[in-house]
Amino acid sequence: MRNIASRDEYVPQHSSRYETKGTSLRGLADARIRGAKIAAIGMLALAVIILGITAKIYASERMAHSDASTVQTQNKKVPESKVTASQTLSTANLKTGLSKPDFNDIPSGDTVQTFSLVDDQILALEDENLAALQNALDQAQELGDAGVVFYDLSSGKGVTYNADVEVYGASSYKALYALYICETLVESGQVPLDGPLATYGGYSMGWQTVRDLIENAVVNSDNDSFIALRAAFDHDGYEDWIANLGVDDETALDPMSDFPTYCPRTSARLWREMSEYLSMDTETSQWLSGLLASTSRSFIRDGIADEQVLVRNKAGWISEDGYYSTCDAGLIDIDGRTYVMSVMTSMPWSDRSSEVTAAIAKALFDTRAALA
């Protein structure tokens, strides 16, 4: 039986549509020679016309070559600085130093610990950074359980606290389910993004497209769109996808729960898979990257509050019917490096819990110098 208790608030938005304009070509009329008496003049005129046509063709080829070169040059341009959260970052050059990291090596326990997924190096945090992180976690513990994982994708070094705490993830899982659809079904050609859906599993989708449903679920945190996607695609390989990523019952994730309870360790594992998918730089992966950079709510983005940083995330929040959660997880890009961050708490959602989650995100982000 699925758990559909979570009902996050959202503000509907609409996507933009673009049109591409074409161009047309005009034919040139052939010169006619009128008679034998003006043969010499006709031949001269014909020569002039031929020379004109040749010049025009040459000029056109030069222009076409110039336009093609311009397009190629523009396509090679990549933003180097001041990437804002509303911009889509191409991750074609994303480099992860970890081919198959073992997330079981992330330590557990209710003390702040550092770790490395590639060696046995012991990291040391600055006293100021450690104190700020511990203070933010203590504030969270006054309102509920809390757990975090934060690590550098390139170095494999990170910081954690209570990595295995089980928390109701609420809407934080919507982005990860979108990853499953895009990576497994859309990229393989099984499901077209712009294909309309009528009804699945008794849920009326109003002939919305898969694209619209994913956008509403990820950007606006629309529960109805998310439930419709689950009803449509749970039986197309979802459980196998979860299992192949090494996620099992021990890591606290029930794949058949619409809004599952899981832990920061599992969250970090799945967001690492997200980074791998976005690095494919396909049309669909970059579209999803743009959605994640435009989420309507981000405690991580609020905490960092820096326009130089790109945050691609999905938060979850709820305080009703016995379900309590204030969570956020995602990818953070700055200075050519990418970090995975997961902050999961059972704090009932409120302005206070939102501020505390943002403070945890800021404190984690400030430890990044030790993770290089």
- Percent share of the chain, pLDDT over 70: 69
Per-residue DSSP letters for 223-277? HHHHHHHHHHHTTTTHHHHHHHTT--GGG---TTSSS-EE-HHHHHHHHHHHHHH
Between 137 and 206, the more confident residue is: 137
Residue 268: closest CA among 119, 137, 163 = 163
Between 244 and 38, the more confident residue is: 244
pLDDT of residue 3: 44
Q: How is residue 305 written in tokens?
A: 């509050």
Between 159 and 255, the more confident residue is: 159
Cα(110)–Cα(141) distance, rounded to whole angstroms? 11
Task: Tell me the per-residue pLDDT of 317-334, one tens digit each, with 9 for 90 and over.
Answer: 999 989 999 999 999 999
pLDDT of residue 119: 85
For the residues 1-20, what does the mean pLDDT come to? Answer: 34
Considering only 24-28, 134-138, 203-207, 279-283, which range has the smallest mean pLDDT?
Answer: 24-28
Cα(331)–Cα(176) distance, rounded to whole angstroms? 12
Instruction: Look over the chain and give the mean of its residue pLDDT values, rounded to a whole number.
Output: 77
**Which helix (DSSP H) or strand (DSSP E) does residue 169 occupy?**
none
pLDDT band at 100 (very low <50, low <70, confident <90, very high): low
pLDDT of residue 2: 47
* pLDDT greater than 60 at residue 168: yes
Task: Phi first, then psi: give them for residue 343, nearest 5 degrees.
Answer: -120, 115
| Beta bridge partners of residue 158, listed in sequence order | 115, 151
For the residues 341-363, what does the mean pLDDT come to? Answer: 98
pLDDT band at 26 (very low <50, low <70, confident <90, very high): very low
For the residues 28-46, what does the mean pLDDT come to? Answer: 34
Considering only 33-37, 236-240, 292-296, which range has the smallest mean pLDDT?
Answer: 33-37
pLDDT of residue 158: 97
For the residues 135-162, what does the mean pLDDT come to? Answer: 97
* pLDDT greater than 60 at residue 48: no
Between 296 and 84, the more confident residue is: 296
Range of 43-57, 81-95, 297-311 with top mean pLDDT? 297-311
* pLDDT greater than 50 at residue 6: no
For the residues 93-102, what does the mean pLDDT come to? Answer: 52
The CA distances from residue 370 to 122, 151, 155, 361, in Å, are: 11, 10, 11, 16
Considering only 92-106, 119-133, 270-284, 288-302, which range has the smallest mean pLDDT?
Answer: 92-106
pLDDT of residue 38: 31
Residue 249: closest CA among 234, 260, 238 = 260
- Percent share of the chain, pLDDT over 90: 60
pLDDT band at 112 (very low <50, low <70, confident <90, very high): very high
Q: What is the pTM of this model?
A: 0.75
